[in-house]
Structure formats: C-alpha cells, structure tokens
Amino acid sequence: MAQSFIDRMVGAATLDVATFDEVEKDTTATVQAAGVVALVTAAQAGAAMGAGPIGMATAAGSQLVGVGLWCAVTFLVGTRLFGGTATLGEVFRAVGFAFSPQILVLLGLLPFLGGFIGGVLSPILALWVLIAVVVGVRQSLDVSTLRAVFASILGAVGYLLLVILVPGL
C-alpha cells in the first residue's frame, strides 16, 4: 500500500530505503516530489523574508533551478558513467523527496531560533539532504553506495556552480 505524502517525506528524511524504492517506482509520485521541492522552496523563501521580495524570489528561483540541475547532472553521471538504470523521472522523484529535511529551515522564522538555525542547523540540514540524496540516488539508479556518492556530489557541484556563477543566488 502506498504511503501518504507526509509519510513519504518522513521516510525520505529518515533515510528509509523502502520509501525511496516506493517513490522510484510510483510514476504518480512525480507530482509529490515536485510538491516537496515546492514546499522546500517556499520554506527557503520564507526563511529569506528578511531579504525582502527580491531576496525571497531569488531564494525560490535558486532552489527550483538548483534541484532540477542537481537531478539532471546526477542522472547523466549515474547512467552514462556508472551504468545506472534509472529514468530521469525516477532520479527526480528520489532526489525531490530527499530534500524533505530542508523543510526545517522554517524553524529559522522563530525569533529565538533564527540565529541558531542560520549558524548551526543550516549546514546540518545541507549534509542531511546530501546523505538522503545519496540514498535516493543509490536506490533509483541501482548502483553501489560509492557510485551514488560520486554521482550525487557531482550533481551538487552543478548546483553549487549555478550558485557561484549566477549573481544573487
């Protein structure tokens, strides 16, 4: 039986392999994976409220473009270099749900936690998402963990290059 949207987000955040296997195979979960990315985008835009409307729009745009780029690079590296067997949709669903922990950036909106979130929790969330991406990529591409790590890191490098090369991101 298919898990609910929230159950899938929690499963991905807790690195549950069965959840990643489920979303990989469920083509209707593409909309849900996009929903995770949209929620995370909204959360990041909300966390950037102090930056004003332009800062919020930039945060939202960078997240949407960045996740798409991360998926595309990871898919290409995983299938072309490492012999993975996934479709782009399977990788997108896995990576999309892997961003579930990032929803916790909303804690930065709490007045007494804002500084803590930015200074301590943000790097932890970034590492958590990267680990979740590796698990999702491993499951979707059907490759070893080491290959999933390299494919995921190269995908992340594509995302980081976007942030560096496009001013304001």
Burial label for 144, CB within 10 Å (0-12, 13-18, 19+), is exposed
The SS3 call for residue 111 is coil
Place of tokens 């590796």: 134
> In the prediction, which pLDDT does 122 show?
79
The alpha carbon torsion through 73, 78, 80, 86 (nearest 10 deg) reads: -100
pLDDT, mean of residues 85-93: 94
Q: Higher confidence at residue 145 or residue 56? A: 145
Domain count for the chain: 1
Q: How far apart are CA 103 and CA 100, in angstroms?
A: 6
Asked whether residue 142 carries a pLDDT value surpassing 80, the answer given is yes
Q: Are 152 and 74 in contact, with CB atoms under 8 Å apart?
A: yes
Give residue-wise pLDDT tens across range 113-133.
666 666 777 788 889 999 999
Highest mean pLDDT (candidates 44-53, 115-124, 142-151)? 142-151
Note the pLDDT of residue 115.
66
* pLDDT surpasses 80 at 33: yes
This prediction's pTM: 0.85
Domain that holds residue 10: 5-165
Alpha-carbon span 116 to 12, nearest angstrom: 24
